[in-house]
Amino acid sequence: MSDAEIPRAAVRLARRRFLTVTGAATALAFATNLPDRARAAGSGGTLAGDPFTLGVASGDPLPDAVVIWTRLAPLPYEPLGGMPYTAATVEWQVATDERFRHVVRSGKAAARPEFSYSVHVDVRGLQPGRTYWYRFRAAGHLSPAGRTRTAPAPGAKVDRLTFAVASCQSWPDGYYTAHRHLAAENADAVLFVGDYIYEYGISASGGLRNTAQPVPDQFRTEADTLDRYRLQYALYKSDPDLRAAHQNTPWICTWDDHEVQDNYAGLVSRTNAPIEDFTVRRASAYRAYWEHMPLRTPAPQGPDYLLYRRLTFGRLAEVNVLDTRQYRADQADGDLWKPDNPERNNPARPFAGAQQRRWLLDGMRRSRATWNLLANQVVMSRMDLDASGTATYNMDAWDGYTAEQRSVLDGLAALRARNPVVVTGDVHASYAMDIKRDFADPDSQTIGVELVGTSISSGGNGVEVSANGRNFLDHNPHLKLVDERRGYVLVELTPRELRAHYRAVPYIDRPGAPVATVRSFTVEAGDPGLHRA
């Protein structure tokens, strides 16, 4: 992952923490969550059916490389996907045409049981700024063909880029219709900014999906072990619209909380479980996340994984992928929405952490790209709910960690000429915001913009604007849009301007909803601030 500019000091720190603090507990987790070798090998080595039930994906495009991914799972709701407990050989091809008449790269990869038969091939030697197709073959079965695209060459003049911003896809909350429309946008990349799965148990009916076939019994309990997280990913990836979105566009992914547990913070669980127990759970969740995402090797080192990274798209854009969950202190004042309080303003409480903060601001300072995007989990701008007449803030967002929030915003103010654009998820609503130097003064300088995308499905059908949404509009003059239906944001970049199209579907409790643009905004390069398009 060095090409994506990941700091080596952080790798050493993560490894040292794993070995000295929690290595024994994590090793035990992985020793006890795999099936017995002899018993698994006794299945004979033949596959029970098509191993490509979870589809294909690509991600983290570089100018000369892209990661292609699949996972062998002929029986996805069984342990290890129904595979015999032995390594399997997977062939792969990358071509310049969708019929694979012109194969430019090919090879073999090992799908190993310890990584749930996932395959992560870092395909090198590709041409910059070019569309490719890829596929896999295993045990006589051929996967669907995926479409991907490399990043433009370093320093290349780029006339246009399109990114889709998506997040929050609770499977039982409804259908992934938005993903079907997102797949048809033919974006250069999808920025998925968290909550790929939700850890909660799932009813037999599948919640709002009201499935014709009962959801298997093993999904009733909350995901908290390696096997159970793997099952959750398998169920989510069973959705054909999600598979289509992966199959058609490379993804740049980061996590938020539900990939482990709702509102966890560092090694503090929501339920204040013993740290040894939660460390094992986090290690299992991180392992399962890596197994199911198109990410480069190496895999997570126990409970630690260096996820923040930077990808460059010629002279037009850089994407800074943040991780605001792994390094943070526990939320202030017991979490949730609370009035101002001393703990919220305690400068000793980390959020992204000093090392990541330096990496972000130093990298943006060196950037020569016209647009600098921050793929970010939770709302960075100030958001005052104020429903009771007292300023009220979300303790789980940047507002709950004001010292680090102020440090990053001051840094962005100094880098205003770099055109910072924060893209965010988490809140199941579309927000469009000017980032102000002083949020208490609506006339203060605008230093950038924050584009908050709504959920793909979390929260059900949604509404146009709820009572809380109206409160936000009333008490946050920098906020230009609230819409609480499901969808995504399409961000179009040129050297002159950014165009943000907020796309939404009217319902997700049944398939087939159309998509429409709720609102569009423009931002001029060199002049931060949102304008109605």
pLDDT (tens digit per residue) in 139-163: 999 999 999 999 999 999 999 999 9
For residues 408 and 309, membership in a common domain is answered with yes
Confidence class of residue 387 from pLDDT cuts 50, 70 and 90? confident
Q: Is residue 24 part of a domain?
A: no
3-state SS of 360-376 is: HHHHHHHCCCCEEEEEE
**Are residues 364 and 446 both part of a single domain?**
yes
Please provide the average confidence, as pLDDT, over all residues in the chain: 92
Query: Domain boundary at 131, 149, 167, which?
Result: 149
The residue that leads in pLDDT, 31 or 201, is 201
Q: Distances in Å between the alpha carbon of 130 and those of 95, 190, 209, 218, 452? A: 11, 16, 38, 43, 29
Asked, for residue 57, whether it belongs to a domain, the answer is yes
Verify that 85 and 180 share a domain, yes or no.
no
Residue 476 lies in a domain: yes
Of the three residues 149, 173, 190, the one that is the final residue of a domain is 149
Domain that holds residue 84: 33-149
Give yes or no: residues 294 and 391 share one domain.
yes
End-to-end CA distance of the chain: 38
Dihedrals phi, psi of 151, to nearest 5 degrees: -75, 155
Which tens digits make up the pLDDT trace of 234-290? Answer: 999 999 999 999 999 999 999 999 999 999 999 999 999 999 999 999 999 999 999
For residue 472 the two structure tokens come to: 């936000």
User: Over 80: is that where the pLDDT of 37 sits?
Assistant: no
**For 12-26, 75-89, 187-201, which range has the lowest pLDDT when averaged over its residues?**
12-26
Query: Do residues 142 and 100 touch, judged by C-beta distance below 8 A?
Result: no
Instruction: Give the largest CA-CA distance in the chain.
Output: 71
Structure tokens of 498? 């950014």
pLDDT, position 293: 98
- Share of the chain residues as helix, strand and coil, in percent rounded to the nearest 5: 25, 30, 45
Tally of structural domains, the chain: 2
Amino acid at 145: A
Please give the pLDDT value at position 389: 81
pLDDT in tens, 169-207: 999 999 999 999 999 999 999 999 999 999 999 999 999
- CA 136 to CA 269: how far, in whole Å? 39
For residue 48, the model assigns a pLDDT of 86
124 domain residue, yes or no? yes
- For 284-330, the pLDDT digits (tens) are 999 999 999 999 999 998 999 999 999 999 999 999 999 999 999 99
81 lies in the same domain as 169? no
| 101 and 199, same domain (yes or no) | no
**258 and 197 Cβ atoms separated by less than 8 Å:** yes
Q: What is the pLDDT of residues 334-360, one digit of tens each?
A: 999 999 999 999 999 999 999 999 999
Q: Are residues 140 and 156 in the same domain?
A: no
Gyration radius of the chain's alpha carbons? 22
Same domain, yes or no: 179 and 120: no
Over 50: is that where the pLDDT of 216 sits?
yes
Q: What is the DSSP letter of 240?
A: H
Q: Is it the case that residue 4 has pLDDT exceeding 90?
A: no
Q: What is the DSSP letter of 278?
A: H
Task: State the CB neighbour count (10 A cutoff) for residue 18.
Answer: 20
Q: Could you tell me the pLDDT band of residue 517, with boundaries at 50, 70 and 90?
A: very high
**Is 102 in the same domain as 119?**
yes
CB atoms within 10 A of CB 533: 12
pLDDT score at 301: 87
What is the band of 528 on the pLDDT scale with cuts at 50, 70, 90?
very high
pLDDT in tens, 119-146: 999 999 999 999 999 999 999 999 999 9
Confidence (pLDDT) at 43: 34
CATH number for the domain that contains residue 44: 2.60.40.380
Q: What is the dihedral of CA 349, 350, 355, 356, to 10 degrees?
A: -160
Residue type, 345: N
- As a whole number, mean pLDDT of residues 221-240 equals 98
User: For residue 520, what is the domain's CATH number?
Assistant: 3.60.21.70
Of 152, 131, 158, the C-alpha closest to 248 is: 131
Which residues lie closer than 8 Å to 15 by C-beta, 6 or more apart?
A: 301, 304
80 vs 410 pLDDT, higher one: 410
Q: Of 104, 121, 149, which residue sits at a domain end? A: 149
The larger pLDDT score, comparing residue 40 to residue 61, is at 61
Neighbours of 231 (CB within 10 A): 22
